[in-house]
Amino acid sequence: MAVITTPPDDRTVGDVPDVREHLRVGEATAWWYDWINRHRVGGIVLVGVIATQLGTYFGYVFPAFGLPPLPWPLYNGLLGTTFADGLNGATATGTFDAVFATSADAFWVGNGLHYVNGIVFAILFVILARPLMPFKNTHGGNIASGVLYSVILSIISAGFLVPYAYVPNQGYGFFSFYGPDGWKLPMGILVWHLMYGFFLGALYQLRGSKTNTTA
């Protein structure tokens, strides 16, 4: 009589997937949210970095989707290194300095500001914005909260930061609609922040009321 045995748990590449592969996926998800519960401060910092990185990557490849690129680290680098001198990314004669824009100083300052901003806004989401959201503490509810939060950030970015901080006095006007890219720039800003908010809400989800929280 044939003996039916269970395949070993340490299956190799090429094995036919079975139900245990799905269980492992579920265990990984449960592990992530359990870790977030136990490390809430460190968790939101890590989620802020992940959400910022994913949004940043797609911001650089937006032209593949018909939208203008959004290299926020570049813009922050120009803003952070030249604004104090009143140049705002331009030379003393008022023309854009491409050499300076790609310098090491602008790169490190820009990326530093960009990712710190992503972490800070993630913390503000958890502490200030999320408790005010009308959605329940469910998987879908947290994602909806992150998306709504990202819409608010989009309004601030397109309505104030871009036309008055990044490209002041250049005619970008109402919510940046009057720039050289027209409606595509505010659309790109919205899509960028929607991705950030989606991953923020999807990855940072608290389950239960565990008190064992460490950074």
Average pLDDT, rounded, for the chain:
81
pTM of the model: 0.78
Contact 167, 110 (CB under 8 A): no
Residue 27 to residue 9: CA distance in whole angstroms:
14
| Band (83; pLDDT cuts 50, 70, 90) | low
Contacts of 52 (CB under 8 A, 6+ apart): 114, 115, 117, 118, 119, 196
Domain boundaries, the chain: 40-74+115-203
At 63-79, the pLDDT tens digits run 999 999 999 998 888 77
Q: In 3D, which of 190, 194, 212 has the Cα closest to residue 202?
A: 194
Residue 142 to residue 149: CA distance in whole angstroms:
10
Name the least confident of 2-11, 108-117, 149-158: 2-11
Residue 180 to residue 76: CA distance in whole angstroms:
20
